[in-house]
Amino acid sequence: MQVLGGLIKLPLSDSLPLPWWHRAPLGLLHKTTVFTSITESGNRPIGDLLISVLDPDNWNRMLRVSCRPTEGPGILNKKFKTISPLNIALAETVTLESGKYHEINIICEPFTGSRKKDYFNEMRKRLDDAGFTDTLVERQLPLPNLVSTQVHQVNHGWVNDTNWRELVEEHFSDDEISQVDLSRGVVSADTQLRLLRYVFPRHGAKTVQIEHADVPGALKELTSALVSSGMNLLSALLRRGGAHPRNAMLVAVCEPHQITDSPEREIERRIRDEIKKLHRRFRANVKIGNGRPGSETIDTHHPEHLIARVPDDLMPKVVEYKSSLPHGKHPIFFSRRFFRNNPHTKKVERVIRRVMKNNSCHVVEAEQNAAGRVIANEVLSRLWISKAGIVVVMRPPKDDSVTEAFSVNLAHEFGVLQGQGKPALLLVDVACVEEIQKWSNMHGVIFLPFDPEQPLEDRDDPSCLANILHGWIDLLRLQ
């Protein structure tokens, strides 16, 4: 079976995206070891990229074993014993038909270092002798000839540092490479061979999505229109999901029949013109795209959710800081501009840190550099890894050169937390309430006042700072 999708834009780096709808059927979980290979060109200008958990060096000696015996105690154990001494690389077994049958599918490979070339006849005889007459033993379907193979690990839906562009340039000529678009790929998952395949299309490739009437002959007419427009189909998926009642959806990835200098708009115009010629009974409605960014294929999300993605320039720092977060603790950004001459700031800071520690929260804050300044990107990177934030506004002393309690920096950090949809607790010194309300965009924003001159920890006073924090953190746990 093939799991298909639309055209995918590949990053300029040598990282390869593994779309979530392909990772699931192939079991490409985080930290899975994979083999990344490039095939010979065959009938295309350059070869394909293949990713698999199976070692290509063992491919020709692998066997596929499948059967559907009547369910019974010990059936799996007996089957596994018979398959020895081959190594079971992948196995899928499941009870079917209300417990009547048990379907077994196994891929076997020789042990590492084994010199024996052919296990096929021996395995067939062992299964026959054990009474498994219903079992099908097949050789693994062959791979195209490979020009390169490397070993990598899946990293949260990516295969990084593959060096694939350099390898393509090494094994194919400039003329061959110039015929294809290395910035995009047609990605498919072969669940029988257990591999992910990237095919590089010619320049001008398009994802064409056509909603149409679900009637006999529709698919023939639609594909004929695409061919008439000068396009070659690299993949086509017909489905009923995502279409209006009594309609179906064709998702096709197309490339020009031959090398062309036609502008993108001209290619799209030809496709639309041919679709318009179809009889109105097909109700064809076409959408044409240039591909989906690979970064948007890594995770799935609810269609009604809006996702804010980390900017590319912040991503390295965000990943670095996120990996350093302690396990099991809630990361909360601590935003404050305390004034050195205010006698209450140290007490306020100690109480906030103590309450957060006692509630299994981790304080996230930007550190000063050697010059005693905080870099904006350092602040933003830490805001991205936080689950929530606390912003403290305190009164500057009268003799301090700073005159504003609610500075632009505090307003910015509070705004970023709100923009990311993260819970933000705005704590305001009672002496600063009037000042903060002067900000026009703060009208209607809920903040909690506290009096730093009163006891900050008092079990009997719900308005004291510690109790405000405890109540807010309790609400966080319910979200």
- Reported as a single tens digit per residue, the pLDDT across 187-246 is 999 999 999 999 999 999 999 999 999 999 999 999 999 999 999 999 999 999 989 999
Residue 401 class from Cβ within 10 Å (0-12 exposed, 13-18 middle, 19+ buried)?
Answer: exposed
Q: What is the pLDDT of residue 211?
A: 97
Interhelix angle 345-358/465-478, rounded to 10 degrees, is 30
Q: Tell me where in the chain the CATH 3.30.70.260 domain(s) lie.
A: 63-139, 206-294
Q: What is the pLDDT of residue 411?
A: 76
- Quote the DSSP letter at residue 61: G
Name the one residue in this structure whose structure tokens are 């900050």.
456
Q: What is the pLDDT of residue 154?
A: 96
Please say whether the beta carbons of 332 and 386 come within 8 A: yes
Q: How far is CA 51 from the centre of its chain?
A: 16
Q: Determine the CATH number of domain 63-139.
A: 3.30.70.260
Q: What is the pLDDT of residue 460?
A: 79
Q: What is the pLDDT of residue 264?
A: 86
Total-model pTM: 0.70
174-180 long-range contacts, Cβ below 8 Å, gap at least 24?
176/41, 176/45, 176/46, 177/45, 177/46, 179/45, 179/46, 179/203, 179/259, 180/44, 180/45, 180/46
- Report, as ranges of residue numbers, the positions in the chain whose pLDDT lies below 70: 111-118, 306-307, 337-342, 368-374, 397-408, 437-444, 477-479
Grouping H, G, I as helix, E, B as strand and the rest as coil, residue 220 is helix
Longest dimension (CA), the chain: 96
Distance CA 357, CA 239 (A): 52
Q: Determine the CATH number of domain 315-478.
A: 3.40.50
Distance CA 352, CA 344 (A): 13
Q: Tell me where in the chain the CATH 3.40.50 domain(s) lie.
A: 315-478
**Per-residue buried b or exposed e for 246-262, using 16+ beta carbons within 10 Å of the residue's own CB:** ebbbbbbbbbbeeeeee
Please say whether the beta carbons of 470 and 353 come within 8 A: no
CATH of 206-294, one of 3.40.1360.10, 3.10.310.30, 3.30.1110.20, 3.30.70.260: 3.30.70.260
Q: Are strands 49-52 and 33-39 parallel, antiparallel or unpaired?
A: antiparallel
